[in-house]
Structure formats: C-alpha cells, structure tokens
Amino acid sequence: MSSFTETGLVKKLFELNQSQQSIQTLSLWLIHHRKHHSIIVKTWLKELLKAPSAKKLTFMYLANDVIQNSKKKGPEFGREYEHVLLKAFKNVAQSSPEPKTINSLNRILGIWGERSVYEESKIKEFSTALNGTETVPKVEVNGSEKKRKGDGGNSENEPSKKSRSTPAVGTEKKAKSEVVEVNGKVETHITLSPHLPDGDPPEPEDLIKVILELENSASSDAAVRERIASLKPEVSELAALDKLEDKEAAMKLAADVNDAIKILNDYNARLAVEMDDRKKLTTMLRDFLREQQELQQQVENRLEEYQNKLSKIKEVQREVRNHMNNLPDLTSLPDVTGGLAPLPSAGDLFNAHH
C-alpha cells in the first residue's frame, strides 16, 4: 500500500471500477488510512458529484464497503459519511439512474437498516432522497423477493449463511468472513488477521506499541541472564563426567543439565522472537520515516503555495492602499451649494401633490 495523499486518492477513485476486487482493494486502503477520514469522505463526495451517472453506483458500493468493514476499527468513517450521504443519494437520484441502480441502492439501505448501521430516521431520509418516500421498497433478486436476514440477505436459492461464512479449506484460522453487497450481488468478504504489507507505513499507535513491547524483551531480562550465568560449570563440561563417583551424583548432574537445557531453550526462543520483532520494528521505522518525508514534502509544497498566495494578497493590499491615498478627500472639497436650501426629499415631493 502506498502512503496517503489527496492527489493519490483522486487518482485511485478515477481508476475505480465496478469489480469486487477493485472496490475491496480501495476500501482496505482507505480503512488503513482512516486517520485521514475527513478528507477521504470529502474527496469521495466531490468526485462522486463529478462522476458520470453509470459510475455513481460504484462510488456508493465503495462507501458501503468502507462503512461496514471499518466498524471494527472505529466509528470515524460511519460518522463522517453520515454527513454527506443525503447529498450523495440526492445526486444519484437526479442523475437519471437506471432502475437496477435504484434497486441496488435500496438493497444497501435495507442492509444498513437491519444491521443498525444508521438510525432508522437517517435511513428514512436517505430513502426519501432516493425514492421520494421514507419506506425503502422491497427489492427482487432473480425474480424472487429477497429475504433480508441477519446475514445481509440470502435468497432461498442461495447457499445458507453458514456455508457462506465458513472459510474454505486452507484458509487461515484467523480469517474472518463478512457478507457484503458488491456490484449488485451479496458476496462473502474474507479478511485475514491484520497484516501490514511490506512497504506500508504503520500507524503511529502501532509503532509506539511495538516499541513499548520491546522494553520488556528477552535481552533486557536481567533475572534470566543472571540465572544462566550462575549455572554450575559442570553442566557444560564433559570433563565433569570423569569426576562422577556414584549413581546419585550422576542423577544430580543429569537433573542440573536438564534444568539448564530448559532455561536456555526458553531464553533462546524468546531471543529469536525478539530478533524478529526488532527486524519488524526496523522495517516499520523505515516505512514510517519514508511516509513522514513524503508528508514533509507535501507540507513544504503547500507552505510555498500559500506563501505565494499571501504575497499576492499583500500586493493587492498595497495597491488598494495606494489607490485610496490617491482618491480625493470629499470632506475637504469646497461647498458648491452656495448656501442654497437642500433638495427636497421624496416624501416632500409626494406631499406637495396632495
């Protein structure tokens, strides 16, 4: 995944297509960069308003995927989208959409209502904007009325929820499945346990968590190192076998050796885990630094842009002041009325005719 920029987001939205892979790939990217949720939703709405009618539904599928799959991360996207969805539904309704587009959006509204994604009053507002009525119309799929249950709506001819949500053989145990609406179809969206792809900048809180965990790493465990240092020399010297005089001494040495092996095995395993964690931290720091450098460049570019804008505004300010200084002072002009009476008001002229 690439780092977040507004320009990059606009490009990804432009390249978005109605395939499930395209929608879910961009959805995961947006959820990962959820700290930018405000600018993401604002840009999404701006691009939806400009998009051709045929692509607006794809934008709505993307919003649905982000809203539902980001809930486990936090409520940011759900709240942010809530402020713009009414305008989005109105825009889609005014773009002369095909009936299947309206049906697809009504299915989304139905799922949102069942899963309590938004309050009933909000669903009614969205439905009114889309259909002209608060009641979400029942939608038919493949000629039969769609049954909306807890799984997001399996029809009688579709596999049961259990068969849909059970990962295929070979899928990791930590994989989770969720039934989502994509491209007019109810499909299973499988998400494996959280994993940061190589090169993907970590969130600051994830980076801090790894650093804090390493404070209690194996290499900093002085107590275990002291136990290892205090092991009897006999447990690591073959020459000690020649000094054994009886079975009791041999059994005692064997017990000491077994204890030493257990301590060292456990500690070596912890050191191996720490080594992997430090490698991971090194990669995270590298990617985080790269992202910060990119963000710094963005800020520098923006600062330069607004400094230039400020300079232009200040130039206008100077010109306005110079222009004001060159204008005549009306208060210093001579009295041209010559002491004549002031002109009558509109009210005086009106009364004069009565």
Among 21-30, 177-186, 195-204, 324-333, where is mean pLDDT lowest? 177-186
Give the Cα separation of 200 and 204 in Å (integer): 12
Give the Cα separation of 24 and 26 in Å (integer): 5
Among 9-18, 66-75, 135-144, 162-171, where is mean pLDDT lowest? 162-171
* Region 38-42 average pLDDT: 94
Question: What three-state secondary structure class fits 322?
Answer: helix
Question: What three-state secondary structure class fits 190?
Answer: strand
Among 149-153, 196-200, 264-268, where is mean pLDDT lowest? 149-153
Long-range Cβ pairs for the range 153-159 (8 Å, 24+): 153/107, 153/110, 153/111, 153/179, 153/186, 154/179, 154/186, 158/186
pLDDT exceeds cutoff 80 at 179: no
Q: Where are the domains of the chain?
A: 6-131, 204-291
CATH 3.40.30.10 for the 6-131 domain, yes or no = no
**More confident position, 211 or 3:** 211
Q: How many CB atoms lie within 10 A of CB 37?
A: 21
Q: What is the structure's pLDDT at 158? A: 37
Q: How confident is the model at residue 145 (pLDDT cuts 50, 70, 90)?
A: very low
**More confident position, 72 or 269:** 269
pLDDT exceeds cutoff 90 at 39: yes
Question: What three-state secondary structure class fits 246?
Answer: coil
* Region 152-175 average pLDDT: 37
Q: How confident is the model at residue 73 (pLDDT cuts 50, 70, 90)?
A: confident
pLDDT exceeds cutoff 70 at 186: no
**More confident position, 338 or 267:** 267
Q: What is the structure's pLDDT at 144? A: 38
Q: How confident is the model at residue 74 (pLDDT cuts 50, 70, 90)?
A: confident
* Region 98-120 average pLDDT: 91
pLDDT exceeds cutoff 60 at 139: no
CA distances from 98 to 56, 103, 104 (A): 11, 9, 10
* Region 9-14 average pLDDT: 93
Q: Which of 88, 242, 348 is nearest to 250 (CA)?
A: 242
* Region 29-55 average pLDDT: 93
Q: What is the structure's pLDDT at 58? A: 94
pLDDT exceeds cutoff 60 at 10: yes
The separation between CA 346 and the C-alpha centre of its own chain, rounded to angstroms, equals 65
Residue ranges of E strands in the chain: 140-141, 144-145, 176-182, 185-191
Among 115-119, 321-325, 329-333, where is mean pLDDT lowest? 329-333
222-229 and 247-326 are packed helices; what angle lies between their axes, rounded to 10 degrees? 150
Which pair of structure tokens corresponds to residue 37?
Answer: 């949720």
Give the Cα separation of 47 and 293 in Å (integer): 28
Which pair of structure tokens corresponds to residue 270?
Answer: 């912890």
Q: How confident is the model at residue 262 (pLDDT cuts 50, 70, 90)?
A: very high
Average pLDDT, the chain: 79
Q: Which of 99, 96, 93 is nearest to 60 (CA)?
A: 93
pLDDT exceeds cutoff 60 at 76: yes
The DSSP-derived string for 273-320 is HHHHHHHHHHHHHHHHHHHHHHHHHHHHHHHHHHHHHHHHHHHHHHHH
CA distances from 240 to 243, 257, 261 (A): 5, 12, 17
Instruction: Compute the half-sphere exposure of residue 175: CA atoms within 13 Å on the CB side of its CA.
Output: 14
Q: How confident is the model at residue 83 (pLDDT cuts 50, 70, 90)?
A: very high
Which pair of structure tokens corresponds to residue 76?
Answer: 């940011």
Q: What is the structure's pLDDT at 352? A: 62
Q: How confident is the model at residue 215 (pLDDT cuts 50, 70, 90)?
A: confident
Contact criterion met (CB below 8 Å) for 108 and 139: no
* Region 231-258 average pLDDT: 82
